[in-house]
């Protein structure tokens, strides 16, 4: 196979708009797969990296990690997917062989984490080039390109009946929220839940909490434009911190007669992470950090908060193992267990992708899906 041309949105530097252009894409090497991306969501993490606040951010790069696509060609030795298969790229791969995969305790496969974090394929090189100069990969996926090369262990093969322009959202946001509730927190019937931040992640947490039959779901955001959807999805209480002068954790503790069983931080704000921990019930409340905070940011609380039984934990991709478990989430969507349409507030072509970032920053979108 020859090097091909692909249309991509290139991030040339932090804080700069993406540039839509043709770049060169080398064929897949051993253990790699060429995928045609049919659609991709735009997640806040893409904006976070583009902003320059991601310690792992490298430029120039092709961002995007919430995609759905079709296998176009196989590199040497690839056996687990075939040309024509429908796939969701995984920023959390699943090799099945590393200490992490074998532990049964985590989804954080580390087989290719080091090179992935450097914007490189597992062999330490890139497949994208412009005028002979390398362009970095992103999160092992680079879905803001019509064609991309992805390691075999970073592909989940899914049911072909699933519409890729919808289930692409299971490549990050929706799975992250659903999994954080079911797999990380293990919310049980009757539990009280607080959700901080009502973007794609927070709304998926609400859906997950409804599926877990949580008794009370408190939705918190500073953008009141998010409340209607949160209610539609099943939030029982709405809180806007701007309506209060006292700390929001105090408000929630009072509302709930002592605090929540579980809270989820879905923003990436370290001050809110503290509130999310401290609104948890003394003795047992657990707070799950999902939001990604910028370089140099640190969380803090009084250790007494933990001494007195609150638990702080984190969740990446909802604790979901991509190759073995994600196809099941796609099937559950097809079976009607949850819907995705509410998330998709905007659709557009790749040429307009900078508008998707603008809409996110203006708080006007939940998810924009880019159709190629």
Q: What SS3 string covers 248-261? A: HHHHHHHHHCCCEC
Residue 43 in contact with ligand AHE, rule: CB under 6 A:
yes
Residues in the chain: 372
Residue 297 in contact with ligand AHE, rule: CB under 6 A:
no
- In sequence order, what are the residues at sequence separation of 6 or more whose Cβ sits closer than 8 angstroms to the Cβ of residue 277? 263, 287, 301, 305, 310, 312
Q: Which is nearer to ligand NAD, 65 or 127 (CB)?
A: 65
Residues forming a β-bridge with 196:
220, 265
For binding to ligand NAD (CB under 6 A), which residues are involved?
A: 43-45, 48, 172-173, 176, 196-202, 220-223, 226, 241, 266-269, 272, 290-292, 315-317, 360, 363
* Cβ-closest position to ligand NAD: 199
Whether residue 266 lies in the annotated active site: no
Whether residue 95 lies in the annotated active site: yes
Please answer whether residues 208 and 181 qualify as being in contact, where contact means their C-beta atoms are separated by less than 8 angstroms: yes
Nearest distance from C-beta of residue 274 to ligand NAD, angstroms: 11
Whether residue 245 lies in the annotated active site: no
Q: What is the dihedral of CA 314, 50, 296, 284, to 10 degrees?
A: -20
Whether residue 168 lies in the annotated active site: no
**What is 73-94 written as a DSSP string?**
EE-TT--SS-TT-EEEE-SS--
Q: Pick the binder of ligand AHE from 136, 196, 317, 357 (CB under 6 A).
A: 317
Report the partner that residue 310 touches, choosing among ligand NAD, ligand AHE, Zn ion, none (CB closer than 5 to 8 A by kind): none
CB atoms under 10 Å from CB of 372, counted, come to 20
Please answer whether residues 219 and 198 qualify as being in contact, where contact means their C-beta atoms are separated by less than 8 angstroms: yes
Report the partner that residue 226 touches, choosing among Zn ion, ligand NAD, ligand AHE, none (CB closer than 5 to 8 A by kind): ligand NAD
Residue 180 in contact with ligand AHE, rule: CB under 6 A:
no
Residue 368 in contact with ligand AHE, rule: CB under 6 A:
no
Instruction: Determine the Cα–Cα distance for residues 324 and 74; give it in Å rounded to an integer.
Output: 20
The SS3 assignment for 48 reads helix
**Residue 203 φ/ψ, nearest 5 degrees:** -65, -35
Whether residue 280 lies in the annotated active site: no
The SS3 assignment for 63 reads coil
Ramachandran region, residue 303 (left: φ > 0; alpha: ψ -120 to 50; beta: rest): alpha
Q: Which is nearer to ligand NAD, 210 or 292 (CB)?
A: 292
Residue 92 in contact with ligand AHE, rule: CB under 6 A:
yes
Report the partner that residue 175 touches, choosing among ligand NAD, ligand AHE, Zn ion, none (CB closer than 5 to 8 A by kind): none
Report the partner that residue 340 touches, choosing among ligand NAD, Zn ion, ligand AHE, none (CB closer than 5 to 8 A by kind): none
Residue 172 in contact with ligand AHE, rule: CB under 6 A:
yes
Footprint of ligand AHE on this chain (CB under 6 A)? 43, 45, 54-56, 92, 108, 113, 172, 292, 316-317
Could you give the residue numbers annotated as active site? Answer: 43-45, 65-66, 95, 98, 101, 109, 113, 172, 367
């Amino acid at each position: 196979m020859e090097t091909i041309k692909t249309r991509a949105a290139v991030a040339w530097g932090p804080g700069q708009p993406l540039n839509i252009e043709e770049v060169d894409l080398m064929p897949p090497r051993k253990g790699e797969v060429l995928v045609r991306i049919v659609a991709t969501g735009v997640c806040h993490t893409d904006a976070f990296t583009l902003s320059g606040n991601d310690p792992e951010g490298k430029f120039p790069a092709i961002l995007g990690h919430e995609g759905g696509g079709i296998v176009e060609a196989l590199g040497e030795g690839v056996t687990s997917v075939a040309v024509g298969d429908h796939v969701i790229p995984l920023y959390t791969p699943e090799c099945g062989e590393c200490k992490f995969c074998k532990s049964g305790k985590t989804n954080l496969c580390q087989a290719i984490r080091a090179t992935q974090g450097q914007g490189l394929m597992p062999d330490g090189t890139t497949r994208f080039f412009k005028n002979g100069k390398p362009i970095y990969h992103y999160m092992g996926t680079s879905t803001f390109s019509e064609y991309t090369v992805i390691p075999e262990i970073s592909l989940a093969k899914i049911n072909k009946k699933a519409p890729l322009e919808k289930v692409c959202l299971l490549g990050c946001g929706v799975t992250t929220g659903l999994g954080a509730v079911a797999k990380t927190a293990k919310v049980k019937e009757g539990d009280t839940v607080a959700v901080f931040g009502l973007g794609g992640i927070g709304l998926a947490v609400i859906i997950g909490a409804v599926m877990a039959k949580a008794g009370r779901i408190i939705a918190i955001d500073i953008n009141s434009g998010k409340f209607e959807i949160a209610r539609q999805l099943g939030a029982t209480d709405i809180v806007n911190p701007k309506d209060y002068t006292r700390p929001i954790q105090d408000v929630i503790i009072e509302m709930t007669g002592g605090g929540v069983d579980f809270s989820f931080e879905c923003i990436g704000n370290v001050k809110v992470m503290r509130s999310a921990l401290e609104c948890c019930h003394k003795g047992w409340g657990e707070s799950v950090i999902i939001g990604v905070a910028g370089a140099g940011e640190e969380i803090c609380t009084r250790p007494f908060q933990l001494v007195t039984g609150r638990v702080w934990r984190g969740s990446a991709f909802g604790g979901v193992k991509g190759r073995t478990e994600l196809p099941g989430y796609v099937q559950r969507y097809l079976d009607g267990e949850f819907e995705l349409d509410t998330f998709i507030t905007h659709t557009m072509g790749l040429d307009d992708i900078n508008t998707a970032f603008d809409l996110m920053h203006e708080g006007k979108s939940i998810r924009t899906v880019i159709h190629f």
